[in-house]
């Protein structure tokens, strides 16, 4: 498998970014929803700490992934796709890249607004982004919470499109993002 993408398939670095970020999102949603069921106490604070640490790792990966995306373009979409399908695919990908940046950054700002530091697994602490403010906490909480559902909707669309390519269109769009696919160079 080559490092770089080709015209027909993703290279191992793009696939690695895709599936590690996917695992990050699974963990963030899992822990995020679980946090909502916990009473205020040490267990909740531990889970919030974990959620924040994973979120910042996803943010860092998203930055590297975007840089890699610019210097190593993605494979072409299949020729037969209609213009609105292409527009939809690109729009959803842009929205997902936006989500990888906006979700962690809004969480980081929310934490600082509530006067909590953002530490990544206790290895280091990020600088404070904004001054403590009750109003900012409320606004950022509403934004982060609403966007979590919007992004989940976009992910569902993305997965549905990937499955449609595989089972209905029967093209290689799904398999070329899979580890060890037969499209690998």
**If binding is defined by CB under 6 A, does position 81 make contact with ligand HEM?**
no
**If binding is defined by CB under 6 A, does position 97 make contact with ligand HEM?**
yes
Distance, CA of 113 to CA of 136 (rounded, Å): 6
Nearest residue relative to ligand HEM (C-beta):
74
- Minimum distance from CB of 99 to ligand HEM (Å)? 6
| CA angle, residues 149, 86, 12, in degrees to nearest 5 | 75
Count of positions (residues) in the chain? 185
Q: Are 11 and 4 in contact (CB under 8 A)?
A: yes
Q: Which stretch binds ligand HEM (CB under 6 A): 67-75, 104-112, 125-133, 141-149?
A: 67-75
Strand 118-120, strand 124-126: pairing: antiparallel
**If binding is defined by CB under 6 A, does position 177 make contact with ligand HEM?**
yes
Using CB under 6 A as the binding criterion, the count of chain residues that bind ligand HEM stands at 21
**If binding is defined by CB under 6 A, does position 93 make contact with ligand HEM?**
yes
- Minimum distance from CB of 116 to ligand HEM (Å)? 25
**If binding is defined by CB under 6 A, does position 18 make contact with ligand HEM?**
yes
User: Quick one: 86 or 134, whose CB is closer to ligand HEM?
Assistant: 86
Long-range interactions of 170-179: CB distance < 8 A, separation 24+: 171/78, 171/80, 172/8, 172/9, 172/78, 173/77, 173/78, 176/8, 176/9, 176/10, 176/75, 177/10, 177/15, 177/18, 178/15, 179/15, 179/19
Other beta carbons within 10 Å of 165: 22
- Minimum distance from CB of 38 to ligand HEM (Å)? 24
- Minimum distance from CB of 144 to ligand HEM (Å)? 15
Q: What residues make contact with ligand HEM under the rule CB under 6 A?
A: 18, 21-22, 25, 69, 74-75, 77, 93, 96-97, 99-100, 155, 158-159, 162, 173-174, 176-177
């Amino acid at each position: 498998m080559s490092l770089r993408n080709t015209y027909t398939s993703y290279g191992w670095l793009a696939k690695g970014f895709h599936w590690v970020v996917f695992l990050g999102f699974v963990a963030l949603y899992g822990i995020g929803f679980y946090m909502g069921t916990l009473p205020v106490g040490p267990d909740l604070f531990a889970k919030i700490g974990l959620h924040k640490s994973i979120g910042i790792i996803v943010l860092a990966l998203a930055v590297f992934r975007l840089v890699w995306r610019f210097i190593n373009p993605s494979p072409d979409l299949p020729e037969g796709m209609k213009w609105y399908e292409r527009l939809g695919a690109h729009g959803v990908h842009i929205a997902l890249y936006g989500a990888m940046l906006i979700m962690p950054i809004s969480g980081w700002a929310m934490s600082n607004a509530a006067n909590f530091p953002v530490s990544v697994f206790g290895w280091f602490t990020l600088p404070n982004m904004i001054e403590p403010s009750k109003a900012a906490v409320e606004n950022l909480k509403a934004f982060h919470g609403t966007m979590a559902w919007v992004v989940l909707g976009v992910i569902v669309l993305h997965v549905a499109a990937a499955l449609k390519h595989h089972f209905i269109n029967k093209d290689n769009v799904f398999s070329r993002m899979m580890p060890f696919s037969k499209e690998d160079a």
